[in-house]
Chain A
Amino acid sequence: MRRTILRATAAMAATALVLTGCGRGGGDDEDGATAPGVTKEPCPDAVDQDKGCIYLGTISDLTGGFKAVGVPLTAGGKAFWQHVNENGGIGDYEVDVTKYVKDNKYDPETHAQVFSEIKGDVFAIAQSLGTVATETMLKDNDSKDLVVIPATLGSNWYFEDRVLEIGTSYCGEAMNAVDYGVDELGAKKVAAVHFPGDYGDDAAVGAKIAAEKRGATFTDIPTGPGADQQAAAVQAVMKSQADVVVVATGPLELAAVVGGAVKSGFKGKFIGSIPTWNAALLDSPAGPAIEASYLWATSFPLWDTDSEGFKAMREANGNQPPNAYFALGWSGGYIMKTALEKAVDDGDLTRAGLLKAATSMTSVDSEGMLPEGSGNYAGDANEAAVRVTQLAAPKKGSGSGVTESVDFFTGPTLKDYDFKEACYLQK
């Protein structure tokens, strides 16, 4: 018996030595690469085989509750970089966003897990969907210098250098919506129907700040997801007698609330955040009500806009139906493109170099696809904040189902608003 133990111990020691001897590969520089995700080898689907490749990761919701957002965003990003590569790439490199696409199922733990699978292979993250999920990813020790384009518009990203936010935040958009309501519709009573959390609360707090500043009364109406769960919200909207209702939910909830309220005799206006809109709503039973009393607040130019970027994007979209998220996926690319070009120009194609390039950007050439004031990450939160909003009215048969109703404007509340912390944290 003792001999068995001896033999076992010896075998174990040997195994241990072999195992430790193997090593773990680690992040050693391969073929002269400057950083993870940057190779001298061409991209898998390279246009120009002589160029190197920069790999960008995408971690989005491809099968979970927000796949209607994540899937077109991802497709838009892919189309954008294809377009960039066909037009000469970035310096001596092309960019690949197709090899490292991961599904987070809208779950922060899955997000962190898949990030750790690709973190040694990607240079930056071209799209990260979900606020908690993105924050979780940024806690990783290996994301110290990671540049990320978020797929959420919370006002929290003003306060995170590594995250290059795009567009006006939900909070700012709601302020503009309320200002518009007070100035143009003579609103005295304002309400906000919203989901809890980083998205809905952000808009609700913005609406509340604006309502208080403009002397309107404010009614807070939190609600949960589910089209069949909105009866209480409809009732609360009617009871509030609001003239303007800011909505920050999903499209299904929007249809239920607007449809229900209009049926009950609601006479005011609903103004919805970006995620409330889906062109398919026009064909739903609530379609006529939505067409009559809903406006979509967005800081991004509409699908039919006549600009170089939009032309290329529409061409890339081919005969697929127009999709606002596809456009967003495309336009977010300009930010990353500008940062990458700057890092290449600086001769510092490392993660730290990219972060430095990104945080010294003051503007972006987006070929007419991003709102005025975009791409300024050099200053503080207030300089970074984009403050314009336009309101679009649903209209059957037009591009993405909406047509411009009120041109880009900045209301008096948002104009001077001092962002000190994320709006949703003030809830």
Chain B
Amino acid sequence: MSTRVKGRPELYTAYAQDMAFLNTRSKQVGVLVVVIAAAVLPLTVSDDLLKILGTGLVLAIGAIGLNLLTGFAGQVSLGHAFFVAVGAYTASAIAGDPDGRALGLGITFVPVWIIGAGLVAALAGAIVAPLATRLRGLYLAVVTLGLVIIGGYAFTEWKDLSGGAQVGRDAPKPVVLGADLTIDGAYTQEQKLYWLFLVVLVICAIFARNIARSKIGRAFAAVRDRDVAAGVMGVELSKYKLIAFVLSSFYAGVCGSLLFVANGHFGPERFSGGHGLLLSVQFIAMILIGGVATVSGSIMGALLIALLPRIASELPSFLPFITTAANEHPNIFEIEVATYGLLIIVFLLFEPRGLFGIWHRVRTYWKSFPFSY
């Protein structure tokens, strides 16, 4: 074990140092600052924004999961929404009211239904994983898309579980230490839920980062870069593809278990037809916009995608000549829909390396300051 050399933060004298959880001092400080800032944010931001940010944090869990599969292990999946749905329904069924209209076991202890949702989704992932050993690239993407279609149909028809089309069922109630987080107290429901989501996200992010820097993570990278070469090097392809799917689905399940907690009610439309496909595509967009094969990028991307509708709805108010009456055209609601699409195009056109790319440029600039050019 070697020690660090003072004043030379990037001088590594041991492999373990290079592979450390946060390998530079600035990363350590940076992460600490971000986490603390995120933790005190609810004290300053209004509830409606917190609600969006809270959703963003939950989506970030799912995005990290997809990034493990697609970004780290190179397996493109359009089926992520299916695993999110499995998680959402598992959690709702575990925590649901046993005497209620929809299936419920009445186990309200929060970690049970979060982890339970993750495990059932992971099991679904394990069943799907063998496909990935036979297919790759776009073929895998199209096949996983089939999952969304099958799932959308199954959940809509399985009324005891989902409540049925256009009716829906209640989401699990987050009762932590006897306190229902959806009821305003000293802090509002939005604040309390945000903190709950933040805690779960931080745990998930640390776990993901640890996977990425372990033997499994290195195997993922080898499979991604060239699976045949990885196989030749002794990486067992079917095993690691299975692990990638299982881990990714676990994250999706956890994401699903929390996704509707704030709203308390959800219908199967969320996962069927166009909506299910859109959710899958949004997850892809999160990791592309955020940054492929980075945990921090997944979080940034998820927050941006969650905020995008709000940004799109604020922008038209800068165009005072556009009417707010919905029966005249063009009105701000129509402009809002167009703006949403436009933002995605503009972003990928001008920032193809994602939010992580912007961060990377900023970092490089200051690293070589004042000689940055």
Residues of A at the B interface (CB closer than 8 Å) are 1, 4-5, 8, 12, 15-16, 19-20, 22-25, 60, 62-63, 67, 70-72, 74-75, 78, 98, 101, 103, 107-110, 112-113, 116-117, 119-120, 131-132, 135-136, 139-142, 195-201, 424-425, 427
Contacts and interface: CB of A to CB of B under 8 A. Distances in A.
A197 B266 contact: no
In the A-B complex, list the 3 residue pairs whose CB atoms are closest, starting with the nearest. A197-B166, A139-B264, A196-B165
B27 to A, nearest CB: 12
A140 B263 CA distance: 7
Nearest to B332: A103
Contacts of A16: 36, 40
Given A62-B333, A63-B337, A117-B48, A427 B164 contact: yes
A131 B44 CA distance: 33
B43 to A, nearest CB: 5
- Which applies to chain A's interface (DSSP): helix, strand, loop or mixed? helix
B215 interface: no
Given A8-B29, A70-B326, 18 more contacts: A4-B25, A8-B32, A8-B33, A12-B36, A23-B44, A63-B334, A71-B327, A108-B263, A112-B262, A113-B51, A119-B48, A135-B265, A136-B264, A139-B265, A140-B189, A141-B183, A198-B166, A425-B101
8 contacts: A19-B44, A63-B333, A63-B334, A72-B327, A136-B265, A141-B182, A142-B184, A425-B167
A198 to B, nearest CB: 5
A427 B164 CA distance: 10
Contacts of B189: 140-141
A198 B265 CA distance: 14
B52 interface: yes
Contacts of B106: none
B9 A25 contact: no
Contact of A109 (B40, B45, B263): B263
A131 B167 CA distance: 7
A71 B333 CA distance: 11
A22 B41 CA distance: 11
Given A132-B267, A199-B166, A24 B43 contact: yes
Given A1-B9, A75-B325, A113-B51, A24 B46 contact: yes
Nearest to B182: A141
B327 to A, nearest CB: 4
A113 B51 CA distance: 7
A19 B43 contact: yes
A20 B327 contact: no
A108 B48 contact: no
B7 interface: yes
A106 to B, nearest CB: 9
Contacts of A103: 326, 333, 336
A424 B159 CA distance: 12
B29 A20 contact: no
Contacts of A196: 156, 164-166
B334 to A, nearest CB: 6
B37 interface: yes
B40 A20 contact: yes
A24 B167 contact: no
B78 to A, nearest CB: 21
Contacts of A113: 48, 51-52, 55, 309-310
A419 B25 CA distance: 67
A130 to B, nearest CB: 8
Interface string B198-229: 00000000000000000000000000000000
Contacts of A110: 309
Most buried by A among B36, B55, B167, B168: B167
A3 to B, nearest CB: 12
B326 A5 contact: no
B176 to A, nearest CB: 16
A71 B327 CA distance: 6
Contacts of A135: 168, 265
B97 interface: no
A103 B336 CA distance: 10
A72 B328 CA distance: 11
A132 B29 contact: no
Given A8-B33, A62-B333, A139-B263, A116 B51 contact: yes
A132 B168 contact: yes
Interface string B275-315: 10000000000000000000000000000000001100000
Given A113-B52, A136-B264, A195-B166, A1 B44 contact: no
Contacts of A117: 48
A113 B260 CA distance: 12
A72 B164 CA distance: 29
Contacts of A108: 168, 263, 265-267, 270
